Amino acid sequence: MYKVGVCGHIGIGKSLVNGQTVKTKELIEELRIILGEEEVCYVDTHNWKRNPLKLIFQSILLMKKSENLIILPAHNGVKIFVPLFSVMNKFYKKKIHYCVIGGWLPNLVERNKWLITFLRLFNNIFVETNVMLNQLNVRGLTNVQVISNFKKLEFNDEISIVENYSKPYKLCIFSRIMKEKGVEDAIDTVMRINSKYNNTIYTLDLYGPIESSYKKEFEELLKKLPETIKYRGVIEPSKSVEIISKYYLLLFPTRFKTEGIPGTIIDSYTAGVPVVASNWDSANEIIEDKKTGFIFPLGDLESFFSILDDLSKMSKQIAEMRYECIERAKKYSSNVVVKKICDFMEK
């Protein structure tokens, strides 16, 4: 009998860098470190729609041989996996837990109230923010716990000694490449600032997978961009901190209101790099304004422009903020956060 069985998207043999896959892999890895390699098993949900009967069979086996079950479905899978594991558990009577990815679950529940009946059958629903906790409590779910997003972090003490910057200041974005993540907002704002001074104040590098529906449009956009703005492709999650550490600021100008605790901001803090971000509904839970980053109203491009313009004259303050970022990152280390999950499973 395993202590924990995990059902989530792993994509064995694939190089996938989306938030769901990264969080699932890191949860399994940390559980094996804490509990022992032999105490953790998993089911990979990659391409489950091609063979749903196989998934159901694997899920039954996972439940039969595990004391605790943790599921990590993405947005499209919640309506399948939550009822599936709730119903199966009527027969097997195991402890079942739902580890939520991102911040969209309350809105999904509001649109699909029938899910509440099944969600109540879980021992724990682990959400990333207090905003989500309160929203789900209002909807009658009392089995909700706040467990922040987490990353396996390796701190480089040398990062914190970078104290001098020179123009052009290097900016970066690490996210899915799509309009809704504010990619074009960032591009336009950087170009406006450089145009204002008739000089290259900032450069901007974009990293991340291009959303399929945006690919053609983005490729056309790239052809029109100056040399100061480049798309750098997709990198392995294990390399992100090293790469971000070379930048002045990380930009996170999302237009999504429900982001949860983005892993890219945890990476940025670990690298000692402050963040400029829009005010999604949980932004204040991870970004302390003027200490670990700077927040502007969601979709307010004039405020975004004003902040970046001011920050081009504040390099000394940015250097001092690096220490606070590194310290804040420790709160999101996987060995700290996953231990809390283990504590809840023992109750």
What is the domain-level CATH number for residue 126? 3.40.50.2000
Residue 22, both tokens: 């990264």
pLDDT at 16 over 80: no
Same domain, 125 and 170: no
Please name the amino acid found at residue 272.
G
pLDDT at 69 over 80: yes
Same domain, 296 and 161: yes
* Banded model confidence at residue 322, pLDDT cuts 50, 70, 90: very high
- Paired sense of beta strands 2-8 and 95-99, if any: unpaired
- pLDDT tens digit sequence for 251-282: 999 999 999 999 999 999 999 999 999 999 99
Same domain, 85 and 181: no
Give the per-residue pLDDT at 173: 99
Same domain, 167 and 138: no
- Domain end: 97, 127, 147, which one? 147
pLDDT at 38 over 80: yes
Span 41-61, mean pLDDT?
93
Distance CA 11, CA 28 (A): 13
Give the per-residue pLDDT at 163: 62
Give the per-residue pLDDT at 338: 97
Give the per-residue pLDDT at 153: 82
Q: Percentage of the chain surpassing pLDDT 90? A: 88
Distance CA 24, CA 8 (A): 6
Q: What is the mean pLDDT of the chain?
A: 94
Give the per-residue pLDDT at 164: 73
* Banded model confidence at residue 193, pLDDT cuts 50, 70, 90: very high
Same domain, 229 and 306: yes
Same domain, 185 and 316: yes
Residue 340 forms part of a structural domain: no
Residue 336 forms part of a structural domain: no
Residue 131, both tokens: 């905003």
Same domain, 121 and 69: yes
Same domain, 96 and 221: no
Give the per-residue pLDDT at 80: 95
Beta bridge partners of 293: 275, 289
Residue 191 forms part of a structural domain: yes
Same domain, 130 and 240: no
- Domain end: 125, 147, 169, which one? 147
Same domain, 72 and 138: yes
Residue 162 forms part of a structural domain: yes
Sheet (strand 229-233) strand order: 229-233, 202-207, 169-174, 249-252, 275-278, 293-296
Give the per-residue pLDDT at 5: 98
Helices marked H in the chain: 19-35, 52-64, 78-92, 105-111, 115-119, 130-138, 183-197, 215-224, 240-244, 263-270, 283-286, 301-311, 315-329, 334-346
Cα 176 → chain centroid = 11
Domain span at residue 83 reads: 2-147
- pLDDT tens digit sequence for 132-177: 999 999 999 999 999 999 998 876 555 544 567 889 999 999 999 9
Q: What is this structure's pTM?
A: 0.92
Number of separate domains in the chain? 2
Residue 152, both tokens: 């396996």
Q: Percentage of the chain surpassing pLDDT 70? A: 97
Same domain, 174 and 254: yes
Give the per-residue pLDDT at 255: 97
